[in-house]
Structure 1
Amino acid sequence: MIAPESPTPPRSHTPLRAILTPGAILRLLLGWGAFGTLLVLQNTPPSALPGAALAGLLTAIVGVILVCAFGVVIEAEHLAHRLGDPYGTLVLTLSIVSIEVILISAVMLSPGEHPTIARDSVMAVSMIILNLVIGVALIVGGLRRARDQGDGKRGLRHNRRGTLIYLAILLGLTALAFALPGLIGADGAYTPAQAIPIAALTVACYAFFLVRQMGAQKADFQEVSAGSDAPAGSGSGTSVLAMLGMHRNELIARTLLLIATVIPIVLLSHDMAELLDTGLDRLGAPIALSGLLIAMIVFLPETITTIRAAAAGEAQRVNNLCHGALVSTVGLTIPAVLTIGILTGQTVTLAESPSNLVLLGATLLLSIVTFARKRTTALHGAAHLAIFVLYTLTLFGV
Structure 2
Amino acid sequence: MSPEAVAPTPPTFTPKLLIRPAIAWATVTLFLIFGSDWMAQLSRHEIGLSLFAWLFCIIVWVAFGVVHEAEELASLLGEPLGTLVLTLSIVIIEVVLISAVMLGAGDTATLARDTMYAVLMIVLNGVVGLGLLIGGMRHHEQAFNLHGASAFLAVIIPLATIALVLPKFVESTSDGTLTAVQAVAFSILTVALYGLFLWLQTGRHKGYFVALRSDTDENIPAEPPPPPRTPKKGEFALHLVLLLVNILPIVILSKSLAKVLDYGIAATGAPVALGGVIIAMLVFTPEGIAAVSAIRRDELTRAINLCLGAAASTVGLTVPAVLLIGLITGKPVVLGLPAASIVLLASTLMLSTLTFSGWRTTMLEGAVHLSMFVVFLVLVFSP
**Alignment match, 1:148:** none
Q: Which residue of 1 aligns with 2:321?
A: 336
Distance 1:227 1:84, change over 3 A: farther
Partner of residue 17 from structure 2, selected from 4, 18, 24: 24
Letter in 1 for 2:193: C
Cα distance in structure 2, aligned partners of 1:109 and 1:10:
56
Q: Percent identity?
A: 41
Contact 1:265/1:298 (CA < 8 Å) preserved in 2? no
Alpha-carbon contact 2:97-2:258 (below 8 Å) kept: no
Match of 1:151 in 2: none
- How far residue 199 of structure 1 moved from its aligned partner, in angstroms, is 1.4
The answer to whether the 8 Å contact 2:132/2:363 transfers is yes
The amino acid of 2:162's aligned partner reads L
Distance 1:397 1:46 in 2: 32
Q: TM-score normalised to the size of structure 1?
A: 0.85
What letter matches 2:216 in structure 1? G
Q: Does 1:223 align with 2:211?
A: yes
Matched-pair contact (CA < 8 Å) for 1:273–1:294 = no
Between Structure 1 and Structure 2, how many residues are aligned? 377
CA distance in structure 2 between the partners assigned to 1:294 and 1:369 by the alignment: 29
- 1:210-258 CA-partner distances (Å, limit 9, x unpaired): 00000010000001123235566x25743x5xx57x5573123212212
| Residue number in structure 1 paired with 2:137 | 143
CA–CA distance in structure 2, aligned partners of residues 10 and 168 of structure 1: 48
Q: Name the aligned partner's letter for residue 173 of structure 2.
A: A
- How far off is 1:336 after superposition? 2.1
Structure 2 gaps of 5+ residues are: none
Quick check: 1:223–1:231 contact (8 Å CA) kept in 2? no
Q: CA deviation at 1:99?
A: 3.0
Shift of 1:370: 1.0
SS at match of 2:8: coil
Indicate conservation of the 8 Å contact 1:266/1:298, yes or no: no
CA offsets per residue over residues 170-191 of structure 1, 9 Å max, x none? Answer: 1110111011112224122221
Per the alignment, do residues 286 and 191 of structure 1 end up closer, same or farther by CA in structure 2, a change over 3 Å counting? closer
Contact 1:97-1:325 at 8 Å conserved across structures:
yes
Cα distance per residue 1:38-68 (max 9 Å; x no partner)? 3333222375464444444444334434443
Q: Is it true that 1:179 corresponds to 2:179 in the alignment?
A: no
- State the distance in 1 between where 2:257 and 2:353 align: 36
Match of 2:31 among 18, 38, 61: 38
Q: Which runs of 5+ in 1 are unaligned?
A: 1-6, 146-153
Q: Distance in 1 between matches of 2:263 and 2:326?
A: 28
Match among 248, 267, 281 for residue 296 of structure 1: 281
Kindly state the Cα deviation for residue 323 of structure 1 after the two structures are TM-superposed.
0.8
Q: For the structure 1 residues 277 and 349, does the alpha-carbon distance in structure 2 shift closer, same or farther, using more than 3 Å as the test? A: closer
Q: Letter of the 1:304 partner, please give it.
A: I
Structure 2 match to 1:123: 117
Q: Distance in 1 between matches of 2:216 and 2:208?
A: 16
Q: Describe the shift of the 1:10–1:266 C-alpha distance in structure 2 as closer, same or farther (beyond 3 A).
A: farther
Q: Go from structure 1 to structure 2 and tell me whether the alpha carbon gap of 1:248 and 1:11 turns closer, same or farther (over 3 Å shift).
A: farther
Identify if the C-alpha distance between structure 1 residues 54 and 214 changes in structure 2 by more than 3 Å, giving closer, same or farther.
Answer: same
Q: 1:15 aligns with which of 10, 17, 21?
A: 10
Say if 1:269 and 1:298, in contact at 8 Å, map to a contact too: no
Task: List aligned pairs for 1:32-111, cutoff 5 A.
Answer: 32-43=25-36, 44-45=38-39, 48=42, 50-109=44-103
Change (3 A) 1:174 1:248: farther
Please state how far the C-alpha of 1:267 moved relative to its aligned partner: 4.8
In structure 1, C-alpha distance between the alignment counterparts of 2:260 and 2:100, rounded to whole Å: 19
Output the TM-score relative to the length of structure 2: 0.88
